[in-house]
Structure 1
């Protein structure tokens, strides 16, 4: 963008209003013709873009005229107009109206609006062609002459015959009735009457028009002029002479002009301008309806020169306005004037007038012009002038605001790092300056791990604080010559000079990852997150930086896919991994459509009696080619695709259906627990969806990850949790002991059960510390009247120790592996049969 265009673009664009609200094509342009902004209608009309000369969208023949119109504005004219055509395939014709809201400021942006006149121009051109053809015809031929006598003698000239397409030897109707058959049916009676009156010498019927059949079969319009030139002794017509003229073209033109007149009237009505014409020699001014409306003039009274209009002028403007009009009248030059009038209610109205004084053919001094009410525009201009006056007292402050605005346009408002726009510009700069540098380029694409959980559970305030913290870490770990940007959400990009040493890049990436993993405290809450980094580099400075950025994105995906909190360099295989992940996502979406997601059930047992107390419902994918897939194969893709909540819903509905079928068979599974993702827990439609299901009280519990259970909950989450309680759905905290839950959080959430994570259960046979920790959790839960379920019970010793520590429910491979619905039904039948014996 040119410096002068950029300066204008940074200021309020000339008028202080949004041209996107205008229905007609409109744009703001700089005084030297560069586009600052354009609305969609303008973009549809011309092939132009912001920052380019407006004349790029015009055909070359019109560029000079357009530049001249711009020049008029810079010389002081408040507005100008010019007819132009679009360039290339868009060669529509337009009237381009240009106005400079602050015409006393030559640097002010110009409002440019287009009115399409393609059809009107074509019509005018066609009309001109027809008029030319008609004039040549008039020069080259005369009207057809006819002469009729009462003795039967008739004469018809060659032109008369040619009008009708007749040759010298073609027969002509010999009587009135035969001739009338050639007349258009709608005209026959009128023609018969007109001839009778013409024969009687009625002057009103000397001329009349009608349609007659041409020899070729179409109708032509004839203008007949005739009169009785001789009468017999009885006073009856003895001889009638006249001429026939083919006025078909003229009638077509009249019809077109009538249509054009209607269109022009509509245009005038829409523009709300008043039109007048004053004859100073006669002393009368003719005003149209809108003109009388503007000036509140009576509709049935003549407007006299020196009377009504002069009295309406504002007292402070009267002398100046009258003197100005008189001076311009003497020069006989067009002029524009702005003045005020006093309305009937005493208010002041602002009027703008375009006027053209001239002397007519009768040497009468006249003036024609248009007036329109610009009160609202004037008020806006006054407000702009007030703002300008205020701005002039704060030049230094505005300079700083401009600097801040330019900075803000290229920087992230939250972290103050360069933004995506700045990164794009930097990449373009690196590509264009490739030959001037010998060192290579490295791109680090950084994505924060577990940031969304912080945002969802602690709120956006905590999320913003973590983003600022991450930005500080990046600044502290790169050189001043390096470039770090936040490109959106929790994603960052770092550009580094690269000399071929991957070890240096690895060291930087590991340092960033290590610092990102350190806990951060916000409002008394410990926040933990990490970072995954994808790296792409090239020692060849001519490499496309945008391609490197794309490769870094692929490497980032690989890093996250391999466990997060790590960095990965881009390799050819990285691209294949991304393709595999995308293929997996597509297959998962098809799996949902094909009903391939099914529940598996892992039974839970009372710790004291080993009776079945329930089952956890787990999602499995019955893949058509790979068989049963566990959640570790597809849950990451499900979260990325945004279908995790949909899978939760499917598992709940299918599990309820299985339990209902077992109960009809007499098989009892006391309770099922299903996992609920954080996204589904925040769904405002969760309550209505659950209410539609047949859920018996105490039959279902929802397992919530401890990571979504913090001391401060989102309002939607708390509302849904209250709904679950009303529906008698229990709440369980899954993976307890690995997250951030506090005693206060437990009191707020009031879960029915805590599920101790398998990591705390695994070593209790060998570790006294682990046993003490588990026992403490059980005692805290018991004091809060919360049941405890232990996951990861792999051995009988696990079960024995947990029973002694007071655990309520046991779950793990040592007791029962996850099974499908058919296998669970068989197991329940076997236990029922064993109990009966």
Structure 2
């Protein structure tokens, strides 16, 4: 038999070699894939196919398709020589069902031999590390939370491992003592004890000995230690034995130190205050008592017991039995009234002591709730018998001498008072005010000084009057009068001029700062008032006008203050406004603007502008948001901030919304015929329009293609205003195929339950939350949480305020669905939109965003490392 030629022998060996590596490739426990120069999979073994959950590699066009979208950006770098043959890469692959898992991927470029068929461009080997990776991430997260918890609690951690001779002290442990991270720490007990306060050393050594001997597996003690700056600080040390040696002795003790200096100083101040109070009570002979209003249990101090002449401990009936029968009804009524209205009160009564002596007592008491929610009454009594007897003698003598004159003067005063004062509040009335302001104006003109008028109107007074009755309203007016009386100074004058209106005159002689005075009135009126167990809340709006010198005109001052009050109420109430020199001009401008708005509605000069929205993943345009604009005949295109408030006052916002919506639907129909690919339009809907019973009927009259229109609701609307009309309108919107979106999400007070009930199609993250995401890891985490909430509820998430390329990259990485902002497109008229879509300019901006992606990740990593 002839021997095979040399070339035939080489071919045989090569075939055997190839067969060997093919068997090795197929039987390996690792996943393998061969890629061509374009990254397409030309071969793969069964391990890889099983890992990806597919039957054949033909189900994948490229290896990139098997990689999670979160890691695709790093593939070009991982697969590029010479990086490909360096350390393996940790990446996430995606199975056919969308599940992701971690692998260790190695990219190998096979050698090319001259004269042979070209081998695959790359060989990819994967090792499944999913469980290990996820355990590592979970462990890191737990450790991070633990560290943050200790740091935020201000606790320093220490760990003494005697078996290894290792002593550990955390950064916070050093910070408590004023030490820098690199400052040496004396690990020897004999040396360290010198830093402990001399009075505490024996105690500290004893506690340490108990712990190191195993007598106290867990120990807590406090002591003073010298701070680096020389002062003494209080430390609370908590330690526990965590390991024992073979002899059962502690071999490792760990714990925390907490700076409790402020607490100790507060305790000392409290002790000193208590000692001073006790001394003061002893000197003044004032007795203190406390009553548990739930159980009737009483506690009297020794001075109270002595004052009442008791020989046994008091109980819940002792006080009433001691009160003189002639005073019992009045005294007990005051106590009940004070407890009922939850306010402090004073009381005067006589008691019959245990020895039968009658004494005059004066007291003050206040109800309160203790820390456990138990209602209590605390108060003080003191004996004023000598003072009462002396006053009675003086009073009797005076009454005999002046009885006749007093009667005449009282009658005259009553007549005059009734004519010039309000019968309910006791304040001067409008007649008295007219005379007072006329006199004050004449005085100001003579002296050249200033005279100011504050016109005050109570906010929400009518609601209280209507719901709780006129008695409640009267009580509020009396309270308001009392507040103004307390704020009145020398030279000031306060009057009630009718209803819930008051006037406060302030002359130059009082030297009052009018803004401070007005704010004090507003603030005092905000405080709640209790009436028959109801908490009543109201406020006050204040209009201020002032003149000085010869220009002072009493009547004009009242008119100007009334105009300023009207302005304060229109700007939100519970505030103050000044009448200024340009006030009249502003009123004229506002009236002109109002007339122009009405003309603009008649001439249909309100029109929509559009801001495009884009898919975060593909950057394809998904739709546009409709924004109202006013094509003013002389001022040009105006945004809502120039006309919306006045339009609300005119009650014509709904008409403007309808005009803009009709125009936008017509524009949308034209874009559809042009094939621009704009999938939907969205428009804002106001709270007032949602409450309009005619909204559903007006929408039915419009030609709205299903799923082409979304209505954006402010977060506060859908949480607070969901009455029956709103719910019916929302249901009709859904029936007509109109989607619901939540606008400015994150700025209100949304809850997951509210979202689940409303089931909106989309959430729009407010621009205030999006703006800091490029530089703040905490803000990225917050926004990421909102996105996860939306994904878990099957709600699309739209990011507003995407103003930079970095915003595009970060929001895409966080999994946001839709992007909207100046980085991609600004608002534009309908006529500009087709050309904008044709030019596709926004994709250039997105390209720079992809370039920034790695830089953003590196910044995140640096911040995370520096945070540790």
Please report the TM-score for the alignment, with normalisation by the length of structure 2.
0.41
Please report the TM-score for the alignment, with normalisation by the length of structure 1.
0.42
> Which of these two proteins has the greater Rg computed from alpha carbons?
1
